[in-house]
Structure 1
Amino acid sequence: MSAWYYAKDGQQHGPVSTDEIVRLFGTGSISPGDLVWREGMVDWKPAGEVPELAPAHPAHEETPASLTPAAAVSGSAPDAFNPYRPPTASWNEPQSTLPEAGEIVPGSQPLDIGFCISRAWDLTKRHFGMLIAVGLIYGALSAGFGVLTELPIILQEAGTSDHQIYTPSAAMKGYIFVANCVSHIFDIFLGLGLTRIGLNLVSEKPAEIGMLFGEGRKLVTGVLAAILYYSMVALGLILLIFPGIYLALRFGQYQAAIVDKDLGVMDSLKYSARITQGNLLSLFGLAIVSMLIVLAGVLALLVGLFAALPIVYLASYVSYRWLQYGRASIPGHR
């Protein structure tokens, strides 16, 4: 059976079975203008435009007593014509491919760039010491690992006389390729840990430096998703630049989805594409503001980067939570 989601008053509800959503539509709990979605549909549609939701007994007609909710519970009504029949117990739609209940309808609440930056600034002030420690450890490990993988090349180049041009052998070229791959994989490993820390901080959950190394279980998924993501973006940039920017914004939340929801490769990309609907311009605006903040940090004799980088880092996860929950992601707002 299909899993359905529906939107009421800016909030998303579900999943429910086809029988249940037909019941809700038939009783008026879902009006013809309310948006609904199930897997396989390209986008959300008004319930009144979805043929599958035409109830056996339209809401404007009087419902026979035999088909009231009480009758359905008692089992006296024939299931074939009973819009109140509960969802089939055997239905078990995988949750990894669909939004969680409680998330807003994608695009229903435009991303607030100002809130993302101000919230990130507030979190930076509160967790400044930890953020600097995490940043220094991340930078040292990433740079150190890169040097180790390049060390044989450095030594060979150093052994070349001043009158010779260093030309790597076939074996060394193979080593360079493998070393670069390993270095990138290590960066993804650390990136997953950084994502966990960032998500926990913006969600007011405990965060500690050790989390930087705690997402190894998701490394294979992260690597495969990164390969697919950057391949799409690179191809888009080669074509006409703008397709690459579009793809980067639309699918850029994939790593947060992997860490936050433990989604697979394709599911994380699909989830990113879903929650970014209607907010691509806002995400582009946030990216521009973030670059300006980093530039300001560079101009401030580089010292400003100690504030700029944590703000930009946290703002990306504040925006992710906003795309999921809208204003409900604001502390104290429900």
Structure 2
Amino acid sequence: MTIEFSCSHCNKVLKTSDDKAGRRAKCPQCGEPIDVPQPADDQGFDGFDEFDESVPEEESFLAGGTTREEDSFLSGGSIDCPMCGAPVPAGAQKCQACGEALKASRRSGRGHWEPRVFSIGAVLSRAWEVYKANLGMVLAVPLLAGGIYFVASIVIGIASAVIGAVLAGGVGNDVAPLVQIPVALVQNLIIYSIFFYLQLGGQLVFLQIVRGESPDLSVMFNGGPFFWRMFLCSMIYGILIFVGMILLIIPGIVVALMFWPFSFILIDRNLPGIESFSESRKVTSGNLLNLLGLSLALGGISILGGIVTLGIGLIFIMPFTYMAQTVAYAEMTSQ
């Protein structure tokens, strides 16, 4: 006999076998702890219950394919860190071995997740509500990231200039430019690395906000485990767009939209880098025109808002555009 009920937090309809009645587990959609209700009494038994098929364990929301028992509130044991594989006590929020933030990782790669076509109006409306409700954090993240990036760029630029001058002083004038080239390359590599690291942190925070969680600013510095995948995938993404733009521009726009969610998918699903591109194609299938429309709408809002406020309003407008992009990803993946 099956038990069918709705999550009290997100209203997702769940079903499981009656032997799970009274047990506690995480909802595969919202991640909140819920209790499996007791089955209704058999007063209304009509003789047909004996024909009810039992729910296979692999199809139940308590099963290993969606929400593993050892990864839920049904266990007091331990789980394996999704990044380094080290055993971690169940309920821990961070792996002691590698520092991976487990709260986000437990959601990544598991639970309810399926592509769907989103509505531009629904994205903008939801983004506005989330933006207003979390205004302080939403503004603090880009301001902190921008401040760190600005200071780091200045420090690295000064250090590179000094190192370049010292190295150039030890060689002839004809060779000096050749010495400064690798210095400039290293400088740009470090600056880009800082940018990608901060981008990862910002996306982690915004994703948690959109899910209704309450992250703090320290989450901005939890992107380390995803860094190299993000760095390499961003390079590949840039190359794909460049090649597409060479091919009469339109293919470049299509490629940019088709693979746009790769960075969100990479950190949300904790996938190998190349798989984030294949998953992006699934997510954006049927959504390319909506993504184009959303991009144009957000671009128009930014330009118009910047002109009207003489650029000052961008402090508030840009975080909203980031929030809308995050909500678009959440809508496309049924979160």
TM-score over 0.5 for the alignment?
Answer: yes
Give the equivalent residue in structure 1 for 2:113.
Answer: 103
Counterpart selection for 2:142 from 125, 135, 143? 135
Q: Distance in 2 between matches of 1:268 and 1:193?
A: 18
Q: Residues 298 and 304 of structure 1 are in contact (CA less than 8 Å); yes or no, is this contact kept in structure 2?
A: yes
Structure 2 residues without counterparts, runs of 5 or longer: 1-11, 15-50, 59-63, 68-81, 83-107, 167-173
Give the equivalent residue in structure 2 for 1:55.
Answer: none
- 1:51-106 residue CA offsets vs partner (Å, 9 max, x unmatched): xxxxxxxxxxxxxxxxx998xx9xxxxxxxxxxx998xxxx99999x9866334x4
Counterpart selection for 1:273 from 277, 281, 302? 281
Q: Percent identity?
A: 25
- 1:4-40 residue CA offsets vs partner (Å, 9 max, x unmatched): xxxxxxx9x9xxxxxxxxxxxxxxxxxxxxxxxxxxx
Say if 2:326 is the partner of 1:317.
yes
Give the equivalent residue in structure 1 for 2:244.
Answer: 236
Give the equivalent residue in structure 2 for 1:221.
Answer: 229
- 1:277-333 residue CA offsets vs partner (Å, 9 max, x unmatched): 0000000110111111111221112221122111101000100011111xxx4xxxx
The aligned length equals 237
Q: Helix, strand or coil: the match of 1:301? A: coil
Q: Residues 195 and 256 of structure 1 are in contact (CA less than 8 Å); yes or no, is this contact kept in structure 2?
A: yes
Q: Residues 123 and 202 of structure 1 are in contact (CA less than 8 Å); yes or no, is this contact kept in structure 2?
A: yes
The within-5 A match list for 1:174-253 is 174-253=182-261
Quick one: structure 1 residues 254 and 158, their matched pair in 2 at CA, closer, same or farther if it must change by over 3 Å?
same
Say if 2:262 is the partner of 1:254.
yes
| Aligned-CA RMSD value | 3.4
Counterpart selection for 1:145 from 134, 145, 152? 152
Q: Distance in 2 between matches of 1:281 and 1:240?
A: 19
Give the equivalent residue in structure 2 for 1:308.
Answer: 317
Q: Residues 149 and 180 of structure 1 are in contact (CA less than 8 Å); yes or no, is this contact kept in structure 2?
A: no
Quick one: structure 1 residues 294 and 86, their matched pair in 2 at CA, closer, same or farther if it must change by over 3 Å?
closer
Give the TM-score normalised by the residue count of structure 2. Answer: 0.62
Q: Helix, strand or coil: the match of 2:271? A: coil
Q: Distance in 1 between matches of 2:229 and 2:209?
A: 23
Q: Distance in 2 between matches of 1:193 and 1:86?
A: 36
* Structure showing greater Rg: 1
- The more displaced of 148-157 and 114-123 is 148-157
Q: Residues 237 and 243 of structure 1 are in contact (CA less than 8 Å); yes or no, is this contact kept in structure 2?
A: yes
- The more displaced of 129-138 and 227-236 is 129-138
Q: Distance in 1 between matches of 2:110 and 2:160?
A: 49
Quick one: structure 1 residues 237 and 208, their matched pair in 2 at CA, closer, same or farther if it must change by over 3 Å?
same
Give the equivalent residue in structure 2 for 1:120.
Answer: 127
- The more displaced of 230-239 and 119-128 is 119-128
Structure 1 residues without counterparts, runs of 5 or longer: 1-10, 14-67, 74-84, 160-165, 330-334
CA shift for structure 1 position 134: 1.6
The within-5 A match list for 1:279-294 is 279-294=287-302
Q: Distance in 2 between matches of 1:134 and 1:246?
A: 30
Q: Helix, strand or coil: the match of 1:292? A: helix
Quick one: structure 1 residues 168 and 253, their matched pair in 2 at CA, closer, same or farther if it must change by over 3 Å?
farther
Q: Distance in 2 between matches of 1:167 and 1:213?
A: 41
Q: Distance in 2 between matches of 1:134 and 1:257?
A: 20
CA shift for structure 1 position 218: 1.0
Q: Residues 257 and 288 of structure 2 are in contact (CA less than 8 Å); yes or no, is this contact kept in structure 1?
A: yes
Give the equivalent residue in structure 2 for 1:296.
Answer: 304
Give the TM-score normalised by the residue count of structure 1. Answer: 0.63
Q: Distance in 1 between matches of 2:139 and 2:282?
A: 33
Q: Distance in 1 between matches of 2:212 and 2:303?
A: 29
Q: Residues 297 and 307 of structure 1 are in contact (CA less than 8 Å); yes or no, is this contact kept in structure 2?
A: no
Quick one: structure 1 residues 123 and 158, their matched pair in 2 at CA, closer, same or farther if it must change by over 3 Å?
farther
Q: Residues 221 and 265 of structure 1 are in contact (CA less than 8 Å); yes or no, is this contact kept in structure 2?
A: yes
Q: Distance in 1 between matches of 2:289 and 2:215?
A: 31
